[in-house]
Amino acid sequence: MLKNNKFESKNFLSNFDMSTQEVLNILEIAKNLKSKDLNIKLKDKVLGLIFDKSSTRTRVSFQVAMSRLGGTTIDLNPTTSQIGRGEPIKDTARVLSRYCDVLAIRTFKQKALEEYAKWATIPVINALTDLEHPCQALADFLTIKEEFGELKGKVLCYVGDGNNVANSLIICGALLQVEVRIACPRGYEPNSFVIDRATKLYDDKSLLKITNDPFIAVSGANVLYTDVWSSMGEESQREQKDKAFNGFSIDTDLINKAAKDVIVLHCLPAYRDKEITDEVIESKNSRIFEQAENRMHVQQALLSYLLS
């Protein structure tokens, strides 16, 4: 179905695992699945979910995506399985490979995800780690493409913590040659390895910009994006980060500095009137809930590729 396959061992652990053409193909398949111009059925296929982190959108969107493909989902809750009692990943991965056809894993360390992929004989999907949120980035660029048609020449400005979401936006932006600007307080920049590797993918190295001034970053931007300042597992840092991120909220002042046709994205859940104002979430510029829906469509496209 897809040309120029770059997936290593048919796993999707990082947006770096995809070629530019593969990203575009996944977005096209997702678009056609969403419009019902494409019907793919994967009868009797089973998706296993292993979520060490709590989830609403990721869990439900994967379950619905698999259901629409005609498959079944098994939710392997660590608190009610041997996973939570310390069974080695290499044992869990090999056993589940005999029961399931694909695994989607939401965990803390990227190394844990890679360990699953090492021992599993079925595809493993990154449903979020502390390093990356690759499925989210695919949904984000589908949303941008739906709005503007062409991605080339568009400017995506992310304001906030240089976290896993920021990392994946940087990688996808580099693959698609989209200008990405990251505005964050000093000391909260995205992963340096991600920045270095993504920069090498750009034809024009100046298309990736990291700054500590949100007003400079949003000037003329087509897309404004933010996420929570304190991710899961960072609760103890919340007070410190709230102080550090003062002035990095997406509000009407920032929107007025952006392009006239600017849209606003947030991967949710949102702390209204913190990293983004309630007014902006409910504004005509917001595409946040279209973005949330698109998680289901891109994951349906991704599953159909990995299992076809």
Q: Which residues are catalytic?
A: 106, 133, 136, 227, 267, 295
> Please, which residues bridge with residue 103 across strands?
48, 124
Torsion of CA 176, 208, 242, 144, to 10 degrees: -30
Q: How far is CA 65 from the centre of its chain?
A: 16
**Residue 75: half-sphere exposure toward Cβ, Cα within 13 Å:** 15
- Collapsing DSSP to helix, strand or coil, 46 comes out as strand
Record the tokens describing residue 10, joined without a space.
């048919």
Helix, strand, coil percent values for the chain (each to nearest 5): 45, 15, 40
Cis peptide before 78 (omega within 30 of 0): no
**Triad 233, 128, 283: Cα angle to 5°:** 85
